Chain A
């Protein structure tokens, strides 16, 4: 059974205008997304800014209101049921910016203990012990407990954010651009660490990123989002080596190649893919500019290809 399942998820934001601020339309940030996360896997959600990837993640954790559709967590519909305490502790989030997501006026102890205080009643000693244990789990020294966020580097801050996220032993972590504010060497550290932690705690990740290198490195399966809909979903290898949708092709071909000898080849490829994209755009999207529904084209490979709809 899937740990997390989204069925036809819609998140629409109203656009208001005029003297009385009446609703004149909607921004369909997420416009019919269905996907499944298996327990213990890393699912990558990729797309440009404005594609709806972040909104999808925030909707799952309850930070954006869901317009319609279903979100099942371990078989339970999160929309019909009020999110129980149990559910809220099992899904946690890691935020993008380690510089602004930690309250600068709080000590590390208070930051990490905050979720514990909300969900568990521990004595001061128990709480301190748990926080110290979490600190050693994320590889920070015990002395950190009394320090403030500004005393740490970016990578260390992101570890504090991760310690806070795993304090309640969650099963699902939604990581929204967890390393995009960090330098490459620090980024490598945090990514390795997230992988280790996943093995250790059997975590499931929903990883949201625009960096296709990171997605390739971390993910088992990948969903490509464009204008609020999924255009392709497959294993990481399939997406990178055998993309089917014109948007996926465009995205993959845009990644700068690390080998300067391929420069000419890449430029020609990009040129060709772009021409293809412009020519076939109307074929791949319906009259409202929306991607078609995903269709299976192989085991574990789905693409929103044109053709008779279901």
Chain B
């Protein structure tokens, strides 16, 4: 097998809160291949966005510590200088953000914002840049591209602005695309168009894509592989069909049970006990999900939970999945451990 496009090994990203550092990403290893969409799922505070920002070192350096290896095309970029990172950002690695309404500079015309990334990474004349920008706008499905070029962000709808953000991300044909909740702020019909667009990018550019989302429906539609994160760690990773057909980790199973489905009607939704603790209070020892499934006996958890291979490409953290069963919020509802 060829080397992965992106190989993250034992990454730990810690943020400074008051005077101490707390790991928001804690010992994460992940591979992303060319022509592959890897989804990272979890609730807010699980570390998925921190992981995405760590890859290109987008965090404020003064309040962040990073350990571990991130190799991109076989080069370590975890310890790259800001100049080296600036050469990767926007050219080899493109990023798409959650809120298209705030992601564009309100005082710059659309054309200028796309051209900036072309100017930084390619040798092009002014005319060539403009031509390429209009092409890009058309590529992401923006009608009247020549006019939109001269418009300001506030003149466009949310869906159109997200297309502009995508145009910026793909302007220099990146080989890795990181999309952080790209459709969360959009209506469902616009969402499906944007997802189509991202899928098309993968098919045409064969890029590797990291898709960060909390929406399991989006994961099911888009991903080739799925990593589920909880409290800064990956708790389960599997090919997409395997994950939905045969989820193992208690957190994955709980998440799947708590989403209201548009396709069939459940009487009650499953509620995960407790809350995700704030970063300084994250449990750092033993199984991190333990406190939210207190009816599972202590001895089935591992002291130092490791990833266990349970199928081809399917890994689960901690042994507690073997003995996990649901218990309803009022204690009576048992969904059974299938």
A residues contacting B by CB (< 8 A) are 48-49, 153, 155, 183-189, 191-192, 195, 210-218, 236-237, 240, 250-252, 254-261, 263, 266, 270
B271 touches A251 (CB 8 A): no
B275 touches A258 (CB 8 A): no
A212 touches B188 (CB 8 A): yes
Query: How far does the alpha carbon of A254 sit from the alpha carbon of B221 in the complex, in Å?
Result: 11
B244 touches A258 (CB 8 A): yes
Which of B12-20, B111-119, B124-132, B262-270 interfaces with chain A? B262-270
A258 touches B265 (CB 8 A): no
B258 touches A188 (CB 8 A): yes
The closest CB in chain A to the CB of B217 belongs to: A256
Nearest Cβ on chain A to B212's Cβ, whole angstroms? 14
Assess whether B241 is interfacial by the CB under 8 Å rule: yes
Assess whether B43 is interfacial by the CB under 8 Å rule: yes
B259 touches A184 (CB 8 A): yes
A191 touches B187 (CB 8 A): no
A185 touches B255 (CB 8 A): yes
Q: Mark B171-209, 1 if CB is under 8 A from A, else 0.
A: 000000000000000011111100100000000000000
B189 touches A48 (CB 8 A): yes
Q: Mark B43-79, 1 if CB is under 8 A from A, else 0.
A: 1100000000000000000000000000000000000
A interface, over-half SS: helix
B residues contacting A by CB (< 8 A) are 43-44, 158, 187-192, 195, 214-218, 220-221, 223, 240-241, 244, 254-256, 258-263, 265-266, 268-272, 275-276, 329
Nearest Cβ on chain A to B269's Cβ, whole angstroms? 4
- Other than the given A185-B255, A218-B260, 14 more pairs (CB < 8 A) read A186-B275, A188-B260, A189-B271, A192-B268, A213-B261, A217-B265, A255-B188, A255-B262, A256-B192, A256-B195, A256-B218, A256-B221, A258-B256, A260-B220
B244 touches A251 (CB 8 A): no
Q: Please provide the 9 A-B residue pairs with the shortest distance between their CB atoms, ordered closest to farther.
A: A256-B217, A217-B260, A188-B269, A188-B258, A48-B187, A183-B43, A185-B272, A254-B192, A213-B260
The closest CB in chain B to the CB of A240 belongs to: B262
Nearest Cβ on chain B to A206's Cβ, whole angstroms? 18
B188 touches A259 (CB 8 A): no
Nearest Cβ on chain A to B182's Cβ, whole angstroms? 13
A185 neighbours in B (Cβ, 8 Å) = 43, 254-255, 258, 271-272
B158 touches A216 (CB 8 A): no
B275 touches A153 (CB 8 A): yes
B190 neighbours in A (Cβ, 8 Å) = 48
A260 touches B240 (CB 8 A): yes
Nearest Cβ on chain A to B44's Cβ, whole angstroms? 5
**Which of A155, A195, A217 is packed against the most chain B CB atoms within 10 Å?**
A217
| Cβ-defined partner of A216 (8 Å) among B217, B254, B262, B271 | B262
The closest CB in chain B to the CB of A237 belongs to: B265
Query: How far does the alpha carbon of A183 sit from the alpha carbon of B258 in the complex, in Å?
Result: 10
**Which of A213, A256, A261, A266 is packed against the most chain B CB atoms within 10 Å?**
A256
| Cβ-defined partner of B187 (8 Å) among A184, A210, A213 | A210
| Cβ-defined partner of A213 (8 Å) among B44, B244, B262 | B262
| Cβ-defined partner of A217 (8 Å) among B195, B216, B269, B270 | B269
B189 touches A251 (CB 8 A): yes
Query: How far does the alpha carbon of A218 sit from the alpha carbon of B266 in the complex, in Å?
Result: 9
Query: How far does the alpha carbon of A183 sit from the alpha carbon of B254 in the complex, in Å?
Result: 13
A237 neighbours in B (Cβ, 8 Å) = 265
The contact sample of 17 A-B pairs, CB cut-off 8 A, is A183-B44, A183-B276, A184-B255, A185-B254, A187-B260, A212-B262, A213-B262, A217-B266, A240-B262, A251-B188, A254-B189, A258-B217, A258-B259, A258-B263, A263-B220, A263-B221, A266-B221
Query: How far does the alpha carbon of A261 sit from the alpha carbon of B245 in the complex, in Å?
Result: 9
The closest CB in chain B to the CB of A263 belongs to: B221
Query: How far does the alpha carbon of A263 sit from the alpha carbon of B222 in the complex, in Å?
Result: 8
The closest CB in chain A to the CB of B260 belongs to: A217
A184 touches B217 (CB 8 A): no
Query: How far does the alpha carbon of A153 sit from the alpha carbon of B274 in the complex, in Å?
Result: 11
B260 touches A191 (CB 8 A): yes
Given A191-B269, A213-B259, does the pair A259, B254 have CB atoms closer than 8 Å?
Answer: no
The closest CB in chain A to the CB of B241 belongs to: A260
B262 neighbours in A (Cβ, 8 Å) = 212-213, 215-216, 240, 252, 255
A183 touches B260 (CB 8 A): no
